[in-house]
Amino acid sequence: MDTLSSSFLQKYVPNNFICNFIDPPLRPSIHPNHVLSGNFAPVNELPPTACDVVEGSLPPSLNGAYIRNGPNPQFIPRGPYHLFDGDGMLHAVTISGGEATFCSRFVKTYKYTLEREIGSPVILNVFSAFNDLLASLARYAVASGRVLAGQYDPSRGIGRANTSLSLISGKLFAHEECDLPYGIKLTCDGDIITLDRHEFLGEPFTAMTAHPKIDMETGETFAFRYSFLPPFLTYFRINGDGIKQDEVPIFSLKQASFIHDFAISKNYVVFPDTQIVIKPRDMLRGRVPVRVDLEKVPRLGIMPRYAVDEREIWWVDVPGFNIIHAVNAWEEEDDGGDTIVMVAPNALGVEHVLQRVDLVHLSLERIEINLKEKSVTRRPVSTANLEFAVINPAYVGKKNRYVYAAVGDPMPKIAGVVKLDLSLSTANSGDCTVARRLYGSSCYGGEPFFVAREPDNPAAEEDDGYLITYMHNENTEESKFLVMDAKSPTLEILAAVKLPQRVPYGFHGIFVPESHLRKL
């Protein structure tokens, strides 16, 4: 067989044959026509492009770059596709002197680059590839053949870097939890460059959470990875100089669980062990390996954050408590630090979280962990459907008063943002919402991000700053970058920037001050 014919078969025949003749009818949750409709549809890369401020003016103290991550498949999928499967794309607004520049670039992961060269998808998508036994076996056989033929090397990473971003020891990274992070750099004109896969954080085939926690006072980063092989959970930290410390494998987690996020306080880390489990054997049956086990009792694992092994971890059952994201945690000073308070959205209707997220209600809760009695009490702090909740980043691991959360309408669409005052979360307080902004008819946004007005002022009030996010109008098909006053009772819009290209709905973002951009 000549090279051209071989290349044609490798690129097109296996995928087309499986999609056309083997795949069963696709469920809506993995049907590309459904998943990628409207503003979930992918966009092309856009080089740095000047933007117009169409409302208000950009605050003088808001110099830097807001970068948001999200899935954006480089190839329009012909077969099953899940929302989590897309290649990572970063959308950045760079602000300087009241002017804004916008740029969209793919994270140039090993997966993205390899598939770009081949001209079609190669690496299996966990949430959609295993769709019926025969189709799953066919896709697995094709993928295995490509590995054996040397077409791709799984040890170089299988991730999409499509979930979040973080600043670790002064360096910017794009994350997805099934792989190691990729270094990112912004140029002086606002362009986005992928540097490399940061293998100093782990060996080949290892990974890192997409939600590391950065202690702004110590400069340390706290992180973990989960696995479908023992140890199912491994904890580690990175010191202020960017040097990874010894890992702490946690063997007391007896089965593989989907642990997307965790919380840290001054002296502890808190891990959720939810009803969302990982069953690798299900792949052999043509089923998605991540599923919900309603017979399992959710737990929390509490461990000193400087533990050198797992002997000090303990687990407590918390029935009905399933969290995907953690907002923050701290130790109460009033009782000598014997109580850890954690704030997190609880997924009610968790059985729908992977297939019908629109049926899930996310109840933001205050969770109190009694360290002496090893017991847990919980109460909601809002009646709304809230996710993607954030705080002033300087308060990670410390007692914070304010939370800013996205309003589901229903999820995954975000109708607005609310501000909650946790000082009102007494036993009989009810809803702690103190400010709200809805975007209007057919307008939807994403996760807000808090930027302090005076980040270097220790006397600044916790909520003295701005909420920033992207918002899309589905009627006009225009996207904007919004800047809101975080202290305002209406979360007043201070500035709106019209973007030169639509921004698809995505996941998590970060703001990098101008002083940091120069050092990346």
| Amino acid symbol at 115 | E
- Least Cα distance to 467 among 449, 455, 441 occurs for 449
Task: Identify the pLDDT of residue 427.
Answer: 66
> Is 508 known as a binding-site position?
yes
As a whole number of angstroms, the distance between CA 395 and CA 402 comes to 10
DSSP 163: S
As a whole number of angstroms, the distance between CA 196 and CA 183 comes to 5
Instruction: Decide if 250 contacts 234 (C-beta within 8 A).
Output: yes
**Cβ-based burial of 429 (10 A; exposed 0-12, middle 13-18, buried ≥19):** middle
As a whole number of angstroms, the distance between CA 209 and CA 270 comes to 14
CA dist list (Å): 94 to 161, 428, 493: 21, 44, 18
| Amino acid symbol at 121 | P
Instruction: Decide if 190 contacts 94 (C-beta within 8 A).
Output: yes
Instruction: Decide if 182 contacts 194 (C-beta within 8 A).
Output: yes
Q: Is 188 left (phi over 0), alpha (psi -120 to 50) or beta?
A: alpha
Please, which residues bridge with residue 221 across strands? 214, 238
Task: Identify the pLDDT of residue 304.
Answer: 97
Instruction: Decide if 28 contacts 34 (C-beta within 8 A).
Output: yes
Instruction: Decide if 434 contacts 403 (C-beta within 8 A).
Output: no
Q: Which two tokens stand for residue 192?
A: 């986005």
As a whole number of angstroms, the distance between CA 431 and CA 334 comes to 24
> Is 211 known as a binding-site position?
yes
Helix (H, G, I), strand (E, B) or coil at 370: strand
Confirm whether pTM is higher than 0.75. Answer: yes
SS (H, E, C) 340-355: EEEEEEEEECHHHCCC
As a whole number of angstroms, the distance between CA 259 and CA 211 comes to 10
pLDDT tens for the chain, residues 1 to 520: 334 334 444 554 567 778 777 888 898 999 999 999 999 999 999 999 999 999 999 999 999 999 999 999 999 888 899 999 999 999 999 999 999 999 999 999 999 999 999 888 888 888 888 888 888 888 888 888 888 888 889 889 999 999 999 999 999 999 999 999 999 999 999 999 999 998 766 676 789 999 999 999 999 999 999 999 999 999 999 999 889 999 999 999 999 999 999 999 999 999 999 999 999 888 878 888 999 999 999 999 999 999 999 999 999 999 999 999 999 999 998 888 899 999 999 999 999 999 999 999 999 999 999 999 999 999 999 999 999 999 999 999 999 999 999 999 999 999 999 999 999 987 666 799 999 999 999 999 999 999 999 999 999 999 999 999 999 999 999 999 999 999 999 999 999 999 999 999 999 999 999 989 988 8
As a whole number of angstroms, the distance between CA 222 and CA 273 comes to 18
CA dist list (Å): 277 to 181, 257, 351: 23, 4, 11
Query: In 218-253, which positions are buried (b, 16+ CB within 10 angstroms) versus exposed (e)?
Result: eebbbbbbbbbeebbbbbbbbeeeeebeeebbbebb
CA dist list (Å): 182 to 109, 128, 393, 453, 505: 7, 24, 22, 29, 21
> Is 175 known as a binding-site position?
no
CA dist list (Å): 49 to 52, 93, 190: 10, 10, 9
Q: How many CB atoms lie within 10 A of CB 440?
A: 12
The beta strand positions in 7-122, using DSSP E, are: 46-50, 52-56, 64-71, 88-96, 99-106
Give CA 446 to chain center in angstroms: 12
As a whole number of angstroms, the distance between CA 97 and CA 52 comes to 13
Half-sphere exposure (CA, 13 Å, Cβ side) for 227? 16
Task: Identify the pLDDT of residue 132.
Answer: 85
As a whole number of angstroms, the distance between CA 271 and CA 321 comes to 12
As a whole number of angstroms, the distance between CA 439 and CA 39 comes to 16
Task: Identify the pLDDT of residue 2.
Answer: 39
Please, what sign has the CA dihedral across residues 464, 468, 474, 476? positive
As a whole number of angstroms, the distance between CA 351 and CA 52 comes to 44
Task: Identify the pLDDT of residue 332.
Answer: 94
> Is 260 known as a binding-site position?
yes
- Least Cα distance to 493 among 454, 435, 442, 441 occurs for 435
Task: Identify the pLDDT of residue 439.
Answer: 97
